[in-house]
Chains A and B, each alone.
Chain A
Amino acid sequence: MTWEDIWPLLGEGLWETIYMVGISTAITALGGLLIGVLLVLTERGGLLSAWPVNLVLGLIVNVGRSLPFIILLVAVIPFTRAIVGTTIGTEAAIVPLTIGAIPFFARIVETAIREVPRDVVNAAIASGASRRQVVYKVLLREARPGLAAGLTITIIALVGYSAMAGTVGGGGLGDLAIRYGYQRFETEVMVATVVVLVLFVQAVQSLGDLVVRRLSHR
């Protein structure tokens, strides 16, 4: 294989990875934020203290977190078919990616929100803030640097997951590395893919760090 053949493959793979990871990140951010906030609010003594809800949510998150991604990938195939209509292709890969990443991000959200001092929350309540105002104006806003850092970690984890998703027909750079680099012994493709992945992860991390710095006023 010549570089003329490799370049378009890399371009296509990179685009598919960005597409998969991008859409999964968007859905994960929303789902993880919701579950993470609920985990904090429903705990005993929390703003919405409801321990049964907390218990169930915690259980679901832990199950999601403990399944190896490669098993999750296969296990959700029927669900994927029901939603996307197919189990092969980039869109189909987004379903397991999202299901795998939401519990991961939810725990990060939970931790970031817990970092907001109890005192600060109390001060807001003492000012007459409603629970909704406390969540939006205090918890989520004060936790923004932590949330941004957590999202960066999640995106990078998703890049890793997407390589596995590629093996079941999701496409992307991981798929490229496995099909060409591993199965066809095209070492150049393997190396090129790895280099692109490293650069991609590096770029995501740097951007994430920049955002965190901008948001943080501590």
Chain B
Amino acid sequence: MTLPVVLPSDPQPTRTYFVISLKDLRKVYRSRGGPVTALDGVSLHVPEGEIYGVLGRSGAGKSTLLRSVNLLERPDSGTVTVGGVELTTLPERRLRRERQRIGMIHQHFALLSSRTVAGNVAFPLEVTGLGRAARARRVAELLELVGLEERAGAYPAQLSGGQKQRVGIARALAGDPAVLLSDEATSALDPETTGSILELLADLNKRLGLTILLITHEMDVVKRICHSAAIMRDGRFTESGRIEQVLARPGSELAAELLRLGPAPSLPGRTIVDVTVSGDQAERPLIAELARRFEVDVRILGGTIEQLAATRAGRLRLVLPGDGAQNAPIVTWLREAGIPTESPVSTESPGNARVPAEPPGGEPAPSELPGDGRIPAEPAADAQVSTDRDDTETKA
């Protein structure tokens, strides 16, 4: 069995071909309330054939990031390379040609209300100067691809939201792009329609090898179709990586969002741990193993199992008898087995026995643990947990 490799930050494999490569993008807007930093040195590398999701609240800068890829918005500095061509240095005319190879879909569909479905899909082809007959053939192909052959003559106003987004997708694919940019494409749709659009995107990714970069504020989108994800806040990525890596990363904010358990109760004299299992680990009879090996009664306090696009993963909240120090060997064993284990965020911190934090590098160091069950200084990077722990220390 291979253990997932724990890495402190997003690795950049050297041999992978990155269809989208954004390097150190910066963008500052002048606004009435002073300058606003939309991009604060963001770098992003998306390998070919991947679905990459950028999560963030509104105002985090994700929209600016996405629109930098086809230079709808020009960053103040940094480079944008798509399909091996550096766009940031191209003259206008060449840039237009490259844009035809980058599809984009929009939250509010952005269809031309004066044109029929077929006319909308034909638009990018008209722009390139494709002949009428060839255009009609290609439009028919594209509409079949998104399942809208029968609505070719309808106007956007006569379509449902899901159908409009399908038109948007067909239009985005007209230029046979290597890359599809999705700007909150499902945020204006109901849950059922969202599902069908996400399925279509995943299907296009598989069938056409289409690389998709999407921005969203919905975790569900990342869960359902993304191979990789990043969290964006105040113009920078606070975390990024392939989903499998993220799940194996101790203290990962993304993993906590992907597998939500909520706040934990306070159980004096007992230790609550959250263990994350993914991939092969998900098949492991973990509880039984713990019970056998350490002769402890493990109770399950809560849990969630998700079929993510990338992998099957779950997070279990276990209750172990005894305080944090007594359970340190168990925690160590779990971590050495490649199972990220951590203390959940508690509703009331004092009195709750805590698990020692994981030292840097993913290697547990039990010798550093104080004997009284208190927690050593926080070496990991998870802000939420560390704040909570500082709290514990001051109150204890």
Contact = CB atoms under 8 A, between A and B. Distances in A.
Contact of A128 (B67, B97, B157, B168): B97
Main secondary structure of the interface of B (DSSP, over half): mixed
A215 B100 CA distance: 29
A199 to B, nearest CB: 32
Nearest to B98: A128
Given A120-B110, A215-B114, A217-B114, A126 B126 contact: no
Contacts of A126: 70, 72, 99, 102, 104, 181
A16 interface: no
B157 A217 contact: yes
B156 A128 contact: no
Contact of B127 (A127, A141, A144): A127
A125 B112 contact: no
B113 A142 contact: yes
A126 B102 CA distance: 8
Interface string A107-137: 0000000000101101111111110010001
Contacts of A123: 104, 106, 110-111, 168, 171
B138 interface: no
Contact of A142 (B97, B107, B112, B127): B112
Contact of A119 (B100, B108, B115, B156): B108
Nearest to A131: B92
B96 A137 contact: no
Interface in B96-146: 96-100, 102, 104, 106-108, 110-115, 123-124, 126-128
B114 A144 contact: yes
A188 B112 CA distance: 52
Contacts of B128: 128
B186 to A, nearest CB: 16
A144 B115 CA distance: 12
For A120, A127, A141, the residue with the greatest tally of chain B CB atoms inside 10 Å of its CB is A127
Contact of B110 (A119, A128, A130, A144): A119
A218 B168 CA distance: 17
Interface in A74-133: 117, 119-120, 122-130, 133
Contact of A117 (B98, B104, B110): B110
Nearest to B100: A128
Contacts of B113: 142, 217-218
B96 A129 contact: yes
Interface residues of A, number: 21
B175 interface: yes
A80 B106 CA distance: 52
Nearest to B120: A123
B110 A137 contact: no
A143 to B, nearest CB: 9
A40 interface: no
A137 B123 CA distance: 9
A138 interface: yes
B127 A129 contact: yes
A138 B115 CA distance: 10
A142 B72 CA distance: 20
Contacts of B114: 141-142, 144, 215, 217
A124 B128 CA distance: 12
A133 to B, nearest CB: 6
Contacts of B102: 126
For B113, B175, B181, the residue with the greatest tally of chain A CB atoms inside 10 Å of its CB is B113
Contact of B126 (A122, A137, A218): A137
A124 B172 CA distance: 10
Given A126-B72, A217-B156, A141 B99 contact: no
14 contacts: A119-B106, A122-B67, A122-B106, A124-B127, A125-B72, A126-B70, A126-B99, A127-B99, A127-B174, A128-B175, A129-B127, A130-B96, A133-B127, A218-B157
Given A126-B104, A128-B128, A215-B114, 12 more contacts: A119-B110, A123-B106, A123-B110, A123-B111, A127-B100, A128-B98, A129-B124, A130-B127, A137-B123, A137-B126, A138-B112, A217-B114
Interface of B: 67, 70, 72, 96-100, 102, 104, 106-108, 110-115, 123-124, 126-128, 155-157, 168, 171, 174-175, 181
Closest 9 CB pairs of A and B: A128-B100, A123-B110, A127-B124, A217-B155, A119-B110, A128-B99, A126-B104, A128-B96, A129-B127
